[in-house]
């Protein structure tokens, strides 16, 4: 009986370790942290991409370049999202050196706190950029890949500098100081 209990505890520990692996922690400079649970069961390729780029440090120092009040905050341009590239006016136009991903559309609704993958007009063009929803946007359902959900730190997302105009381009953006896998 004791060996069954120990086996169950060990299995629970492995399950806990696997769950912990599914989270990203974003430290936003001067604001706090945002914890995101990744949807490995819904968008495994996209979740792994976010983990890969986080482990490489690719997201460190990248701006929230597009923030639209009542809609979403976008970041993740690892090519042009750093302070230097942002100052040159290129933010939001790049990705990573990894190939684009095929769409992993699901029935997850784009509601407050859901994290989606940004893309161009081509559904199979998501790469490194992602966005966090401020509010529900059902017109995105089934059109973009939902890759996770904020489980802690939505107040930090709410405090991000907002952009101007319909594009939501932010003049003086907040930055992801670091992004790590936990």
Provide the residue ranges of all domains of the chain, joining segments of one domain with +. 24-181
**Residue 163 contacts residue 169 (beta carbons within 8 Å):** yes
**pTM of the full predicted structure?**
0.86
pLDDT tens, 21-73? 579 999 999 999 999 999 999 999 999 999 999 999 999 999 999 999 999 99
> Quick one: fold of 24-181?
Cyclophilin (2.40.100)
To the nearest whole number, what is the mean pLDDT of the chain?
Answer: 87
Are 71 and 94 spatial neighbours (Cβ–Cβ below 8 Å)?
no
Contacts of 42 (CB under 8 A, 6+ apart): 104, 106, 108, 146, 147
């Amino acid at each position: 009986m004791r060996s069954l209990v120990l086996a169950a505890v060990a299995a629970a520990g492995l399950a806990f370790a696997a769950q912990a692996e599914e989270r990203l922690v974003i430290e936003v400079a001067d604001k706090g942290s945002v914890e995101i649970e990744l949807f490995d069961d819904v968008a495994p390729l996209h979740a792994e991409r976010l983990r890969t780029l986080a482990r490489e440090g690719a997201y460190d120092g990248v701006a929230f370049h597009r923030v639209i009040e009542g809609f979403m905050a976008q970041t993740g341009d690892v090519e042009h999202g750093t302070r230097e590239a942002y100052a040159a006016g290129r933010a939001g136009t790049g990705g990573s050196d990894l190939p684009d991903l095929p769409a992993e559309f699901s029935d997850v609704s784009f509601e407050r706190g859901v994290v989606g993958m940004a893309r161009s007009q081509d559904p199979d063009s998501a790469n490194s950029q992602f966005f966090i929803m401020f509010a529900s946007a059902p017109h995105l359902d089934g059109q973009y890949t939902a890759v996770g959900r904020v489980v802690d730190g939505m107040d930090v997302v709410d405090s991000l500098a907002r952009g101007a105009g319909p594009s939501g381009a932010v003049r003086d953006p907040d930055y992801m100081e670091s992004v790590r896998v936990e």
